[in-house]
Amino acid sequence: MSSMLAAQLILHPQLTKSLKLLATTVGRDKTYRLIQYLARLVAWSLLRSGGVEAKDAAARWNGLKAGLASGRKMLRLVKPLEHLQTAITTANTPVKSSSLAPVASNVAQLAQIARQLCYAGYLSTDMIVWLQSVKFLRIRADKFARISTISQRFWLGGILLSLLSSSASMFRLRTEGRRLALSRTAEKSGPEDQEARRAEGRALLKERASLISQLTLDCLDVWIPATNLGYAHLNDGAIGAIGVVTSYIGLQQQWIKVHGLPAGKGK
């Protein structure tokens, strides 16, 4: 009986889906990030309670946090190249000539290119920081501090540029949405044209939902490098909570990419 129950648990469809998610590099990274920031939040909470036992428990959670942070850096070894490829592809993609907000479209594209370059810079310098932490490199303390600061500035710059790109894209979508609404009331067209407009409307709504999700993530994540650089002064509890929320949202997004939307929600 116990063996059958164990087999049912191991072969459970939800576990199979979870393993499929964890088979992707992004899925593993988001899962590790979620646990990393959860460990940071728990450690902060334990230290606040005080006591020798709480400090010992907090040290274990901080060790888990540090280990996961180091492991995540290894998962991102080739990520700078991916961001550089995305920057080049975006630069070679012409802005839609039919756009009713050409300035916003151009701003969104330029900000997206600069964002990818910033993330490539962030991950490259962050790799140097990791190589120093595992004692593969021997960098002077003052130089190491400068590299760490540059890395955080790249991260902060990438998030701010992402906010700019998403905001410009939202303005473009608002303009295109108004144009679509006017075309529905002003024109009398056949069933094919109406279906084409409905498809365009669904595409605009899908893009809008994606942009809102990205704006939410960036508005939260921006406080992490800002705090690391001393521009903001959030405690470890707040940073941990922000990391947990954004990691969970990112994990949900990756789940949808791997498994698709639940039945009835993709329409």
Q: What is the model's pLDDT at position 247?
A: 96
**Is the confidence at residue 97, as pLDDT, over 70?**
no
Nearest CA to 116 among 91, 138, 93, 139?
91
Q: Is the pLDDT of residue 11 over 90?
A: no
Amino acid, res. 22: L
* pLDDT, mean of residues 170-177: 86
Average pLDDT for the chain? 88
Give pLDDT, residue 264. Answer: 54
Tell me: pLDDT of 187 over 60: no
pLDDT at 102: 83
* pLDDT tens digits, 42-92: 999 999 988 888 999 999 999 999 999 999 998 888 899 999 999 999 999
Using the predicted structure, report yes or no on whether residue 13 has a pLDDT greater than 80.
yes
User: Residue 256 CB: number of other CB atoms within 10 A?
Assistant: 13
pLDDT tens by residue, 214-250: 999 999 999 999 999 999 999 999 999 999 999 999 9
Greatest pairwise CA separation for the chain in angstroms:
76
pLDDT of residue 188: 56
pLDDT at 204: 84
Residue 192 — pLDDT band, cuts 50, 70, 90? low
Q: Which band of pLDDT confidence, cut at 50, 70 and 90, is reported for residue 193?
A: low
What pLDDT score does 158 carry? 98
Q: How confident is the model at residue 99 (pLDDT cuts 50, 70, 90)?
A: low
∠ CA 76-79-83 to the nearest 5 degrees? 155
Return the minimum-mean-pLDDT range out of 8-17, 39-48, 66-75, 203-212: 8-17
The pLDDT tens digits of the residues spanning 101-137 come to 788 889 999 999 999 999 999 999 999 999 998 889 9
What gap in Å lies between CA 263 and CA 267, rounded to an integer? Answer: 9
pTM of the shown model? 0.88
Task: Report the pLDDT value the prediction gives residue 117, as an integer from 0 to 100.
Answer: 98
Note the pLDDT of residue 252.
Answer: 93
Task: Report whether 224 contacts 191 (CB < 8 A).
Answer: no
